[in-house]
């Protein structure tokens, strides 16, 4: 079965050109002009961009948190991702201290198998380092193809690891070719500030932000970056939200450290005042790190443009307002952290980034797909449109205007964090390994068609550090 996409404009991280794309057995087998013969199905993409499928490096599907479970599982979450132009996700596998890591990985395989409609991989949380964990890591890299490990510097008494754990994870990652990811906030200081706020009776959602100020993110980011330099290892800072953290990443990169940074759509378009919305609606905007003062948005956009931040994750972590976010009425610490973003990440970023002239269209592709594939051992199978790559392709209408709303999104959650926001550009059809998942804006995929991705080891990426510090 051969498919031919005709008349589209192929856009990669480096190029933009009109070409036909031939697909065979799930792979791209030819790119050129007038590839008219041989195809069983011809798709006319006139006026559309052909982007490599989005890769979302940061999702939490079917994840337990604070007595609740995220409302999107691997079926609803990946269907929504596909509608939004994402064809690969890397989800975070949580682990439990004292238990073999392999048990947790099996749990995540059980959650995702037969459910995912697009391809997926796992990052693995490291909560402690001991002989058992150190012995398992090489096997997990080899057998499971899990080549990224997450350490939490926040969530004291829940996920938080100490600095020795972080440092030894960095050393182990260096030895075996993995990338260490950090949630960079100083959990000990947050714990103190939270208790102080509650003692004073400050329980509204806004205090979630006020007890996690940018300094605690900047401090933890700088600490993780310094330890990475000391270990001569590699680090990926997830969900960077503020100028303080950007500065620490930029400084580390200028020293030549392999330090990478991800931000998320919510930090680019929402701000701290959203937490003050009446009727407890501020709870919809509780992320960790929290939304920041609005001026940080420009810092983040500039960092993406200048290469100080390199990727965009959704940090998809959806909880319903009714019955889940509401658990935190009268105590902001009981509000489940996170929001529904997996579907909007790609189009919202195109609209706010490319359409508004903040980044180029090639930077868009690099940030939503290519760079993530390179950092997480998926390139060139994923992350580009090239002969031999998987035919993960988004046929994208750059001029379609629409309004984001809970009434039209496909995530299994009862609100949208971007309700009423008008954006331009929408995926029309989305292919995963040459098969339609979305065709003419309708879901036509099948749960279970998504394949688990064993990823390659981390490879040092040599490039000149950014010259410009904003």
**Minimum CB distance to Zn ion smaller for 11 or for 179:** 179
Q: What angle do CA 383, 385, 390 make, to 5 degrees?
A: 70
Count other Cβ atoms within 10 Å, centred on residue 404.
Answer: 20
**Minimum CB distance to Zn ion smaller for 183 or for 253:** 183
Residue nearest to Zn ion (CB): 315
Site size toward Zn ion (CB under 5 A) is: 1
Select from 202-210, 310-318, 362-370, 383-391 the region that touches Zn ion (CB under 5 A). Answer: 310-318
In the complex, minimum distance from the CB of residue 393 to Zn ion, in angstroms, rounded to a whole number? 27
Question: Which residues contact residue 372 at a Cβ distance below 8 angstroms, ignoring those fewer than 6 apart?
Answer: 55, 56, 57, 90, 311, 378, 383
Interface characters, 24-63, with Zn ion (x: CB under 5 A): ----------------------------------------
Distance CA 120, CA 55 (A): 9
| Paired residues of 120 in beta bridges | 89, 452
Select from 215-223, 226-234, 307-315, 376-384 the region that touches Zn ion (CB under 5 A). Answer: 307-315
**Minimum CB distance to Zn ion smaller for 315 or for 390:** 315
**Minimum CB distance to Zn ion smaller for 35 or for 154:** 154
Select from 2-10, 31-39, 313-321, 361-369 the region that touches Zn ion (CB under 5 A). Answer: 313-321
Q: What angle do CA 437, 1, 395 make, to 5 degrees?
A: 35
**Minimum CB distance to Zn ion smaller for 376 or for 436:** 376
Select from 149-157, 169-177, 278-286, 311-319 the region that touches Zn ion (CB under 5 A). Answer: 311-319
**Minimum CB distance to Zn ion smaller for 316 or for 381:** 316
In the complex, minimum distance from the CB of residue 166 to Zn ion, in angstroms, rounded to a whole number? 17
Select from 274-282, 315-323, 382-390, 408-416 the region that touches Zn ion (CB under 5 A). Answer: 315-323
In the complex, minimum distance from the CB of residue 350 to Zn ion, in angstroms, rounded to a whole number? 22
| 24: phi then psi, degrees, rounded to nearest 5 | -145, 130
In the complex, minimum distance from the CB of residue 119 to Zn ion, in angstroms, rounded to a whole number? 20
Of 446, 431, 409, give the one whose Cα is nearest residue 8. 431
Helix (H, G, I), strand (E, B) or coil at 123: strand
In the complex, minimum distance from the CB of residue 45 to Zn ion, in angstroms, rounded to a whole number? 34
Distance CA 198, CA 218 (A): 24
Select from 7-15, 68-76, 156-164, 312-320 the region that touches Zn ion (CB under 5 A). Answer: 312-320
**Minimum CB distance to Zn ion smaller for 315 or for 344:** 315
In the complex, minimum distance from the CB of residue 394 to Zn ion, in angstroms, rounded to a whole number? 24
Q: What angle do CA 330, 331, 337 make, to 5 degrees?
A: 125
In the complex, minimum distance from the CB of residue 60 to Zn ion, in angstroms, rounded to a whole number? 6
Cα-based torsion angle of the residue sequence 365, 369, 372, 373 in order, rounded to the nearest 10 degrees: -120
Residue 185 as a binder of Zn ion (CB under 5 A): the answer is no
**Minimum CB distance to Zn ion smaller for 181 or for 395:** 181
**Minimum CB distance to Zn ion smaller for 274 or for 315:** 315
In the complex, minimum distance from the CB of residue 182 to Zn ion, in angstroms, rounded to a whole number? 11
- Token readout for 219 is 């401090």
* Residue with token string 């105590």: 331
In the complex, minimum distance from the CB of residue 183 to Zn ion, in angstroms, rounded to a whole number? 7
* Residue with token string 């950090």: 182
Helix (H, G, I), strand (E, B) or coil at 198: helix
Scanning residues 398 to 417, which ones bind Zn ion (CB under 5 A)?
none
| Paired residues of 173 in beta bridges | none
In the complex, minimum distance from the CB of residue 460 to Zn ion, in angstroms, rounded to a whole number? 25
In the complex, minimum distance from the CB of residue 315 to Zn ion, in angstroms, rounded to a whole number? 4
| DSSP string for 26-59 | TEEEEEES---SS-SEEEE-TT-EEEEPEEEEEE
Residue 91 as a binder of Zn ion (CB under 5 A): the answer is no
**Minimum CB distance to Zn ion smaller for 5 or for 264:** 264
**Minimum CB distance to Zn ion smaller for 90 or for 437:** 90
Tell me the CB-side half-sphere exposure of residue 259, using CA atoms within 13 A. 32
| 249: phi then psi, degrees, rounded to nearest 5 | -65, -45
- Token readout for 272 is 């701290």
Distance CA 354, CA 358 (A): 6
Residue 315 as a binder of Zn ion (CB under 5 A): the answer is yes
* Residue with token string 């020795």: 164
CA distances from 192 to 154, 275, 373 (A): 12, 21, 38
Tell me the CB-side half-sphere exposure of residue 12, using CA atoms within 13 A. 17
Q: Using CB under 5 A as the criterion, which residues of the chain lie in contact with Zn ion when the complex forms? A: 315
């Amino acid at each position: 079965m051969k498919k031919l996409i005709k008349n589209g404009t192929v856009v990669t991280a480096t190029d933009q050109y009109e070409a036909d794309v031939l697909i065979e057995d799930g792979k791209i087998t030819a790119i050129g002009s007038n590839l008219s013969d041989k195809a069983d199905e011809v798709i006319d993409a006139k006026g559309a961009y052909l982007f490599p499928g989005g890769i979302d490096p940061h999702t939490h599907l079917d994840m337990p948190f604070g007595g609740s479970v995220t409302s999107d599982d691997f079926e609803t979450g990946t269907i929504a991702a596909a509608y939004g132009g994402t064809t690969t996700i890397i989800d975070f596998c949580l682990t439990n201290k004292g238990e073999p890591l392999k048990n947790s990985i099996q749990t995540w395989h059980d959650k995702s198998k037969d459910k995912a409609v697009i391809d997926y991989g796992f990052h693995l949380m490291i909560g402690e380092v001991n002989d058992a964990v150190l012995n398992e890591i090489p096997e997990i890299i080899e057998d499971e193809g899990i080549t990224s490990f997450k350490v939490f510097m926040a969530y004291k008494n829940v996920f938080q690891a100490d600095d020795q754990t972080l440092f030894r994870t960095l050393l182990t990652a260096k030895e075996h070719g993995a990338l260490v990811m950090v949630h960079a906030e100083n959990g000990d200081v947050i714990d103190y500030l939270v208790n102080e706020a509650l003692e004073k009776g400050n329980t509204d959602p806004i205090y979630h932000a006020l007890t996690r100020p940018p300094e605690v993110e900047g401090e933890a980011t700088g600490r993780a970056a310094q330890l990475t330099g000391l270990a001569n290892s590699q680090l990926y800072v997830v969900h960077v939200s503020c100028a303080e953290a950007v500065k620490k990443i930029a400084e580390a990169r200028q020293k030549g450290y392999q330090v990478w940074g991800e931000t998320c759509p919510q930090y680019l378009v929402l701000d701290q005042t959203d937490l003050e919305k009446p009727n407890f609606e501020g709870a919809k905007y509780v992320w960790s790190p929290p939304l920041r003062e609005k001026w940080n948005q420009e810092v983040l956009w500039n960092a993406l443009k200048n290469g100080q931040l390199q990727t965009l994750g959704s940090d998809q972590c959806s909880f319903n307002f009714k019955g889940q976010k509401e658990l935190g009425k009268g105590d902001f610490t009981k509000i489940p952290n996170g929001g529904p973003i997996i579907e909007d990440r790609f189009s919202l970023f195109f609209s706010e980034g490319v359409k508004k002239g903040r980044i180029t269209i090639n930077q868009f592709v690099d940030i939503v797909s290519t760079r993530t594939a390179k950092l997480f051992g998926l390139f060139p199978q994923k992350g580009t449109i090239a002969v031999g790559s998987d035919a993960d392709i988004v046929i994208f209408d750059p001029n379609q205007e629409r309004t984001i709303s809970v009434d039209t999104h496909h995530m299994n959650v009862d609100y949208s964090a971007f309700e009423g926001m008008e954006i331009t550009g929408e995926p029309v059809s989305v292919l995963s390994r040459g098969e339609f998942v979305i065709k003419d804006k309708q879901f036509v995929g099948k749960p279970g068609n998504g394949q688990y991705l064993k990823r390659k080891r981390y490879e040092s990426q040599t490039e000149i550090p950014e010259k410009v510090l904003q």
